[in-house]
Amino acid sequence: MFEGLSAFPTTPTNADGEVDAVALARVLDRLAEAKVGSIGLLGSTGAYAYLSREERRRAVEAAKESIGERVPLLVGVGALRTDHAQQLARDAEAAGADALLLAPVSYAPLTQEEVYQHFVSVSNATGLPIVIYNNPTTTRFQFSLDLIQKLAIIPNIAAIKMPLPGETAFADEIRSLRALAPSGFSIGYSGDWGAADGLLAGAEAWYSVVAGLLPQPALALTQAAIAGDRAEAERLNAMFEPLWSLFKEFGSFRVMYAIGSLLGLFEAEPPRPVLPVPASARPRIEAALDELR
């Protein structure tokens, strides 16, 4: 479940934040048919922070009804309050989730100890394995290596979803993480434009935005990188470059809504106050999709 390609789809909703279960099922069925390694429901791409508890539960129930046991289902349960995250974890487990993704969502900046206690409390509320969601761009929280080490030894914390390492080489960061985590603890990366390098350096998983709507080319890239075929991975990654440029310019969150519309999967817009990409960018998104086809 924590290896290979984990696809993070958009969650189509109406303007009132109500999940379009039919459109969501359409998206998820594509992922199951493509045989991705797992589906990451209600991640940042899935707009978890903009949905009520009821709609998040409805999304998990719709997802499980759609994919059944075909693909493992990883569900985001991040919330501002610890008790709310615990409730979301129980809801996801009751609805049939296979694992949870937990980010330290905050308004007041959190300390390392506060995040540790938060993860302990949520892990005690569920029997499901948990993936640490390290997303400092969104949460403004930086996990220290000491904190990751403390969390990694909690029995049901099984993996970490890392951001791109910046100045540090992938191989060096992965080596550092492996030295402090127990055997079997999975290391994966988000940040789609750097994921191939992460996999080539030995990471187990790519937690992918683009795979949520374009699973086939993302799966090809994943398989080449895991196989150590650098030439093929670089060739495939080059095909994604126009899309990576759009992700960096407008934010992958906004671009994915436009892709969903262009593919005829849904007509939802991002939740306000987030605005759609400008109409002038849509021809560039179409051209990027053509490149991948």
Q: Which residues are catalytic?
A: 133, 161
**Amino acid identity, residue 131?**
V
Count the neighbouring beta carbons within 10 Å of the beta carbon of residue 193: 17
Please name which of 205, 207, 286, 279 lies closest in space to residue 243, comparing C-alpha atoms: 286
Question: How far apart are alpha carbons 166 and 170 in whole angstroms?
Answer: 9
DSSP letters spanning 211-236: GGT-HHHHHHHHHHHHTT-HHHHHHH
Q: Is 167 helix (H, G, I), strand (E, B) or coil?
A: coil
- Tokens for 264, please give them: 């005829």
DSSP three-state, residue 176: helix
Alpha helical stretches, state H, 16-144: 21-34, 53-67, 82-95, 112-124, 136-139
Residues within the annotated binding site? 45
* Binding-site residues for pyruvate: 45
